[in-house]
Amino acid sequence: MKNYIVTFLSILVAAFAVKVFLVKKGEKEAFDRHEALVTEVTECLEMADWNCAEKGVRALLAETPDDRNLQLHLAGILYEQERYEDCRAYVESLGYTSEELKFLHEKSGALLKEMAELGIERSMHFRVEFEGNLSKVDVMEALAVLEVAYDSLCHLFDFRPENKMHLVLYRSSEYQGMGPRPEWVGAIFDGKLRIPVGMMQYRELYRPVLFHELTHAFIRAMTRSHVPFWVNEGIAQVVDASRTALPRPEGTVPTLDALTAPFVKESRSDNAERLYWYSQRMVERLLARNASFVYFRDFIQSMHKMGDEEALQKFYGVTAAQLLDEVR
């Protein structure tokens, strides 16, 4: 799922515009207060501290109420806080629309519908939404596995997410979280972990799947931004360990472009298998250089500031093309 909290550059652009206005009027003190507020909001967004971010963005909007970047920030913050009714009402109050605002409005509506129609169970770090008369044992088993996986990943990455995470156990396609998708796709993470109810009948299958999808949730919480799909899928497979012993798949070696793009765009299961196999082996090559998952965490967190290739060179002394050659 796209992260529609706009990049911090948009706030800085707004800050520059305000600076010009305030400095021209000789209001240096007012500008200093504004600049401190921008810094605080940026830090709050980076930490996913939504209450702090909301307070700061509302203060900035009090200065420039027509700033559309700030308005989009506020709508996104309401969405991230799971205040879906507030998000929809705020978007409607703006009197205009955009692709990002439309997404937030429609996604909030869909999630409100899910919450109204699905059963709900909670644990310390998770909320499970489930469709139909699912066995209480299955739901509680899923929560128990998730809590174990959560503690394991917190220890592995030395990172604890700020917000509660959500699992949807679905039967109907309307709750699978995305439009038409290849038949080979089962579970998926789109801001929620979405797993077919039928998978809960097979413990040897759903346990690694829960670990896999939860790893994606941790990656999103740790980075709040894009990482190449071979990195994201590769580390999730290393954690779930379900494909570690698989032999090299037959067929041509995937291109770097294919390994960087969303794997769900691949309609053929044999091509998808190659993407998953090579992504895991590439990440394993990184971990062979430095086995620390905390170091890996720092690496992926640096990507949005340094760029993918620059981060690879700094942390592991290698390029993506060189990694693929090693695996090839």
Residues 52 and 37 placed together within one structural domain of the fold: yes
Q: How confident is the model at residue 6 (pLDDT cuts 50, 70, 90)?
A: very low
Q: Indicate whether 13 belongs to any domain.
A: yes
Instruction: State the pTM of this model.
Output: 0.67
Largest CA-CA distance found in the chain, in angstroms, rounded: 69
Q: What is the pLDDT of residues 8-47, one digit of tens each?
A: 445 544 555 555 555 555 567 777 788 888 888 887 777 6
Question: Where is the domain boundary, 111, 146, 176?
Answer: 111
Element (H, E) at 188: strand 188-189
Residues 260 and 287 placed together within one structural domain of the fold: yes
Q: What is the arithmetic mean of pLDDT over 256-283?
A: 88
Residues 102 and 148 placed together within one structural domain of the fold: no
Element (H, E) at 121: strand 119-122
Q: 221 in helix, strand or coil?
A: helix
Q: Indicate whether 3 belongs to any domain.
A: no
Most confident by average pLDDT, 19-28, 162-171, 272-281: 272-281
Residues 278 and 203 placed together within one structural domain of the fold: no
Residues 96 and 125 placed together within one structural domain of the fold: no
The per-residue pLDDT for 37 is 85
Residues 206 and 245 placed together within one structural domain of the fold: no
Q: 193 in helix, strand or coil?
A: strand
Domain that holds residue 142: 118-221
Q: CATH number of the domain that 186 lies in?
A: 1.10.390.10
Question: Where is the domain boundary, 170, 196, 221?
Answer: 221
Residues 171 and 198 placed together within one structural domain of the fold: yes
Question: Where is the domain boundary, 221, 239, 265?
Answer: 221
Rounded Cα–Cα distance for residues 289 and 184 (Å): 33
Q: How confident is the model at residue 180 (pLDDT cuts 50, 70, 90)?
A: low
The per-residue pLDDT for 66 is 93
Handedness of CA 219, 223, 229, 234 (dihedral sign): negative
Structural domains counted in the chain = 3
